[in-house]
Amino acid sequence: MSRDQSDLETWKEKLVMFRREEAIIIDPEKKFLLRKRIEECQQKIAEIESDRKNDTEITDKPPPKPSKRGASQFCTLAFLRGAEILGLSLFWVMLLQKWDAPSKSYIPSHNIPKKYPKFWAIGVLLFFSLLPPIQDLLLEPRLLIQAFYRNLTHQVPSEVESPLLLVQIDNKSLVQAEIRERNPIDYSYLGKLIEAASNIEAKVIGIDYILDQTQTQPNKTKNLANAITKTEEIKFVFATIDSENTLEGSISEEIITLDSNWYQQGNIKFYQWYVELPDRRNDFFSPPFAYQLALNYACFLNNNNSGTNDENLVTSCSVLSSSNKTSRFLYSLNILPISHFFQWFQPIIDFSIPPDKAYQTISACELLGTCEVQNNQEINLNSKLILIAPGGYKEVGVEKENEDNFTVPFAFNYWRGWSEKNLTGGEAHAYMIHHFLNRRLVIAVPDFLMSLLSILMAKVISVFLIEKLENIKTISIILGVVNIMYGWITLQIFVSLGILIPWLLPSLIFWLTLHYSYHKKLLS
C-alpha cells in the first residue's frame, strides 16, 4: 500500500471515530471540539484525493481558518458563560484563541504563547484577589451568608453579650430638646447626658464627639466642664483624631486637662469595616477609641473583683499577671504582630452577630426621661459602660456633614429587617467594643493565598485522578460535592473559631485550573 493510500485510510478512520463520538456526546463544548477535528479530517481527505488526481507530490499546507459561523457560535457560548462571572468570561475568550490556533506541525499565524490563555485568565483572578475593593465587595455578601447560617443553625447568642449601653443623640432627641445648631453639638446637652449616666452609676463613659469648638459656646462649655468634674470615680474616654497639629482634633483644655488619670483620648478613625488595633510601634498615635473603652472597662472589672482601689492599677492596666482573661487579652493586643503584615490579617467587624446581642441602644431623650422608650423595649440602666454618640442626623461630621453615617452592611440590615437607612460610627465602635470584651477578633485569610493553594490542589488532582477521560464526569460530581462541603465547613469555622476562609475566588480558580488541565489532556 502506498503512502498516499495509507494516509487517506488513516484520516478516514479518524473521521469515522470522531463522528461516532459526536453522536453520543451531549456537552456542547466537547461537540465543538470534535467538529473542529471532523473539519480537519475532511480537509485532509479532500487534499489527498485532489493531489492523487493531479499526480503531484503531497505537501503540507496550513489548515484554513475556521468559518465565521463556528467562531461566532463559540463567542456566544463564551459570552453567556462569562455573564455570570467576569473571570470565566475572560477564560473562555482566551480558550477560543487556543482552540483556533493551528496544530504543532504548522507555523502559527500569530505570536501568542501556548500557555498564555491559562495564565492570563487565572492571573486576572489572582490580581483581583489582591485588590482591596474586590475584597470589600466579597466581604459583605459573605457576612450576609454568615448571618443566614447563624440564624438557620440557631447559633445566635440568647442574651446580650456586651455590657455596653449605646446612647444615641438622634433627631428625635434633638427635636425634643429644641436644639437647632447641631454642628458642633450643644455642649450643655452633653453635660446633661453625663449627669444622667453618673446617676445610674456608670464607671466608664465614652464621648464620640470632638470637643474642640469651645469658642462658639463659652457658657455651655462651662456647663459641660462642671458636669464632668462633678462625677466621681468615672473613667472618661474622649474622641480624638490624630493630626500633626496637637491642638486640632483633641478635647479643649477649657473643658478638662488630660493630666488627670481619669481622662483619656481615643482615635475614632477606622478603616471600613475593620477592627482598629493599637500600634505600640508608634507612640505618636492615640490608641483606638473602642479599644480604650474596652480596656478601661476590663480594668474596672479587674479592680472591682480584686477589691482594691489602686488608681495606678486602673491607669496603667498592667494586669498580665492577674486572673482577668479579658484584661490580659486586651493588653496583649499591643504586641499583636500579625495585623501589621500588609493589613492582610486585620480583624473584621463581625456583623453576622445581631446588633441587639452585641450592645443595647437607647435614645438620648430616653436616658434623660423626656420621651418614652420605643416598642416597650427593656433597657438595662445599670450598665457600667456607656457610649454617647451621634445617632444618624445628617449634620454630624468633623470635616464635612454626614461624615459619621455609612452605608448599611447587608448582614446588619438583615438583622434589622432591612429597615435601616445608614449605620453610624457609634454603632461600628459598639461592635468593636463587643469584639474586644468577648475576645472575638475574626481574622480573614487572604483570598490570594487560598487561590494559590487551590491552583496547587487542582494540578495535583489533574495529575493523579484524571487519567482516563471517561471518568471525568464522575470525578467532577465528587469534586463538586467536596467543594460544597468545603463551603459549609468554612461557615462553621467562622462561627466557632473566628477565621474567615474565602470560598468564591479560590473555588472559581480551582475549577478553571481543572478545566484547563482536562482540555489539555483531551487535545493530547
What are the pLDDT digits (tens) for 174-204?
A: 999 999 888 889 999 999 999 999 988 899 9
Report pLDDT for 53: 67
Interatomic CA distance for residues 37 and 328, integer angstroms: 69
Share of residues in the chain with pLDDT > 90 (%): 35
Kindly indicate the confidence band of residue 29, based on its pLDDT and cuts at 50, 70 and 90: low
Q: In what order do the strands lie in the sheet with 360-363?
A: 263-267, 235-240, 204-207, 385-390, 164-169, 360-363
Interatomic CA distance for residues 350 and 352, integer angstroms: 5
* Cis status, amide bond into 120, omega within 30 of 0: no
Choice between 194 and 8, residue whose per-residue pLDDT is larger: 194
Kindly indicate the confidence band of residue 1, based on its pLDDT and cuts at 50, 70 and 90: low
Instruction: Please give the average per-residue pLDDT across 75-93, as a whole number.
Output: 40
Burial (CB < 10 A; 0-12, 13-18, 19+), residue 116, is middle
Interatomic CA distance for residues 330 and 60, integer angstroms: 76
Beta pairing class for 499-500 and 443-444: parallel
Report pLDDT for 375: 63
What residues contact 468, with CB distance under 8 A and at least 6 apart? none
Choice between 377 and 382, residue whose per-residue pLDDT is larger: 382
Give CA 186 to chain center in angstroms. 37
Report pLDDT for 91: 45
Interatomic CA distance for residues 348 and 334, integer angstroms: 17
β-strand partners of 406: 423
Interatomic CA distance for residues 292 and 268, integer angstroms: 10
Report pLDDT for 475: 81
3-state DSSP call for residue 423?
A: strand
Report pLDDT for 122: 82
Lowest mean per-residue pLDDT among 246-250, 454-458, 509-513:
246-250
Report pLDDT for 226: 93
Q: Is the pLDDT of residue 374 over 60?
A: yes
| Helix, strand, coil % in the chain, rounded to nearest 5 | 55, 10, 40
What's the pTM value of the predicted model, to 2 decimals? Answer: 0.73
Beta pairing class for 360-363 and 164-169: parallel
Report pLDDT for 334: 55
Q: Is the pLDDT of residue 166 over 60?
A: yes
Q: Is the pLDDT of residue 93 over 60?
A: no
Report pLDDT for 111: 44
Report pLDDT for 56: 47
What are 398's three cell numbers? 468633623
Report pLDDT for 118: 54
- Contact 210/240 with Cβ under 8 angstroms? yes
Instruction: Please give the average per-residue pLDDT across 430-442, as a whole number.
Output: 93
Q: Is the pLDDT of residue 103 over 50?
A: no
Interatomic CA distance for residues 48 and 40, integer angstroms: 12
Mean pLDDT over all residues of the chain? 77
- Contact 216/184 with Cβ under 8 angstroms? yes
Interatomic CA distance for residues 201 and 234, integer angstroms: 9
Choice between 85 and 420, residue whose per-residue pLDDT is larger: 420
* Dihedral angle over CA of 140, 144, 146, 147, nearest 10: 140
